[in-house]
Amino acid sequence: MSALSETGTTLLLAAAKKDEGGSFLVTPGLGLMLWTLIAFGVTYYVLSKVAFPKIAEALDKRRKAIDESIDSALKTKAEADQLLEEYRARLKEAREQADDIVARSRKAAEAHQDEAKSSAKQYREELMQSTRKDIENETRRALEEIRKEVAGLTLIATEKVTRKSLDDEDHRRLIEEALSEVDFSALAGDKKNGAPNGSGDS
């Protein structure tokens, strides 16, 4: 017990001694406080009057510059986008136009071809028709001639057979009548039909 109290006393003494030795640590000195005020005041004056405004100004300037460059970059981008869009639209338009032109020329070519074809056909038909008409005319003329020839020959033959000249008027009328019964038209189409008729009569 006594040992314990002794230790306690020693500790207390030590604490007191320490307190005595270190008390200046927690004792504020007015002089030092005034020096603090002076040092802080000078620092405050210089910083608030010169350093801080300058730094703030430079930072604001930079922020503004950054803002401006961002703005201008955005603007440029928007412009570029718009331009691109425009070019794209124009390209699309041009492509459509080109397609249109190709389609149109194809159609025109087809139409032209059709027209040429039909006109050729028409020309050919016309040609055929006129040819046919010519042939008919020629045939008719030839038949007419044959008929005249046959009439003349018949007349001669009859004269030779009968040895007398028939009254031209009467005989010619008779022959004409007889000939009209014979269908010469078969000569044009079918010679087998006409030939027996003609040879039978002559």
Partner 1 sequence: MKERFMALGTGKKVLLVFGLFVVVAVVVNMLVPSEGKNDAFKPETEFKLDPWVTLKLGPLDMSLNKAVLYLFLACALTTMAMLYIAKRMQDRPNRVQTAVEAAYDLARNQITGNNMDDSMALRWFPFIGTIFFFILFSNLIGYVPLPTNTEHTVEVFGIAFPTFAIYAATANLSIPLMLTLMVWFSYHREGIKAKGFVPYFKSWMPAGLEDMPLPARAGIFAIEVISQFVRIISLSVRLFANILAGHLLILFMGGGLVVLLGLAALGVFTLPIAILFFMFEVGLIAGLQAFIFATLTSIYLGAATAEGH
Identity of the amino acid at 132: R
User: Does residue 11 belong to the site contacting partner 1 (CB under 8 A)?
Assistant: no
Q: Which stretch binds partner 1 (CB under 8 A): 31-39, 131-139, 171-179, 190-198?
A: 31-39
The residues near 153 (Cβ < 8 Å, ≥ 6 apart) are: 202
User: Does residue 14 belong to the site contacting partner 1 (CB under 8 A)?
Assistant: no
The residues near 151 (Cβ < 8 Å, ≥ 6 apart) are: 172, 175, 176, 179
- Of the pair 4, 25, the CB lying nearest partner 1 is at 25
Binding residue for partner 1 (CB under 8 A) from 2, 3, 4, 31? Answer: 31
Binding residue for partner 1 (CB under 8 A) from 15, 59, 70, 116? Answer: 59
Could you tell me the CA-to-CA distances from 20 to 14, 15, 31, 140, 199 in Å, in that order?
Answer: 10, 8, 21, 166, 180
Tell me the closest approach of the beta carbon of residue 55 to partner 1, in angstroms.
5
140/152 Cα distance (integer angstroms): 18
Site for partner 1 in 34-53 (CB under 8 A): 34-37, 39-40, 42-44, 46-48, 50-52
178/182 Cα distance (integer angstroms): 7
Residues that bind partner 1 (CB under 8 A): 18, 21-22, 24-37, 39-40, 42-44, 46-48, 50-52, 54-59, 61-62, 65
